[in-house]
A and B are shown apart, each in its own frame.
Chain A
Amino acid sequence: MIMDTSLVVDNAGRLYEGFKLTLALVGLSAACAAIVTVPLVLGLRSNAWAPRAVSGAYVTFFRGSPLLAQLFLIYYGSGQFRPLLEYLGVWWLFRDAFFCSVLAFALNSAAYTAVLVKGAIDALPEGQWEAAAALGLGWFATLRKVILPQAIRVALPGYGNEIVLLTKASSITMAVTLYELLGVIKVIYSRTFDITIYIWAAAIYIVIVSAIRLGFALLERSFFRW
């Protein structure tokens, strides 16, 4: 198939802007999600019922409903609480569509990542904890030196998938005025009514996702090196 490259060349600047926004959304969301994941995993693995119930409800909520609905809830929902948010001094954050999107993505992704990490930790035999305790290691030292290095190896492929899903999911922010890569592509389509832009778009996303997968493959290899 011979495809007209002028569509891409003419819009290269816009596409690059969109690509940068996609990258920023995914990078920042993943970083924030990692932070939220820690207390969530602790909650899910807690012996007390209250933290377990709270983290369980959190996970059910964010994994049980579509990200689009969560994004609308955070962006347009927060607009209704402006006086309260101003009083708390955080309105300037919620005012921003980028912040709201990152917040929605981070909260959502954290729920998936927490389940992943919990699964990886649960998969390790109980004997690991006992052996570490016998060596006189404390709870935190056991987690850091014994459990986490092994759990990360188990969870890494799943985490790579989660980042890919996050990259794909970031394409919905056009609904809240943020035109990332797919948003820019839709704008180009609505100007030109040229279907081939979607084929170019698919190719661009395949390249991005392949790069992420390659990165994680290299990371895995370095973890399994020993």
Chain B
Amino acid sequence: MNRRNDYIPIQIITPSKKIKINLKELWSYRELLIFFSWRDIKVKYKDTTMGVLWVVLQPLALTALFTMIFSNKLQTYAGKLPYPVFVLSGLILWQFVSGSLTVAANSMELNAKIIKKIYFPRLIIPLSALLNSAFDLLFGLLLLLVTCLFWEVRIEWANILLALPISVFLLSVACLGLACLLSMLNVIFKDFKYIIPFFLQVLFFTSPVFYDANSFGDGWWAEFFSWNPFSAAIQVFRRGISTAELTWNVVVKPLVSATLIFVGGLIVFRKTEKNIADLI
């Protein structure tokens, strides 16, 4: 086997206390990340019709529900967008958040057997949870496109192609941080999993999924929404659809908070990761 003669990898095992992430190593495990995500997607969509249907049906049903309840009361705040489009755009992003966090939170326990027997950078696990939700997001976006066409919303591609990446990036950074944090808290505290649904619910209602953050005026809430990365991501995305102008000051504050969440989550993750095989 000549393929490995080029270099001899040297590993040194010590009781290290460093929190630094070995990006090079993570990169060398990129195939495993793909395999992990591929496996979970495969299992989820095994009976394909139901899998896809589920991802599409859920936001659709919720959109119908919210439209029935709130469209009269909240239409004025939805700006230029028809309320169903407005809600759906928020819901598909929210699905990304709740999907990735729910999966990630339980991921260590689900993969405990592998974790106990094989070494790989554990970061792959929350990352693959994120990738899986991203896959669902694609279906969501398709659904949104159809809805936009149905309600005859004029689509400015240039605007959306700027807003969507920014929005998804914000979500991903914040979600990865939270995913890291939640997954490890779940490992440390066995009863933490009961808190997660509640936590997600709070996050849902404090993010402008079915209402417009601008309707709260300029007070304390406005400040909160401008710092909340989930709220910001949804707003940026909606601006993209409704061809409203995108300004940098909308992006900077949530980027700071998302980064803080990311770093915090990562520190907890790295600290717990080393002992994880002894903990689960």
Do these two chains interact?
Answer: no
Residues of B bordering A, CB below 8 Å = none
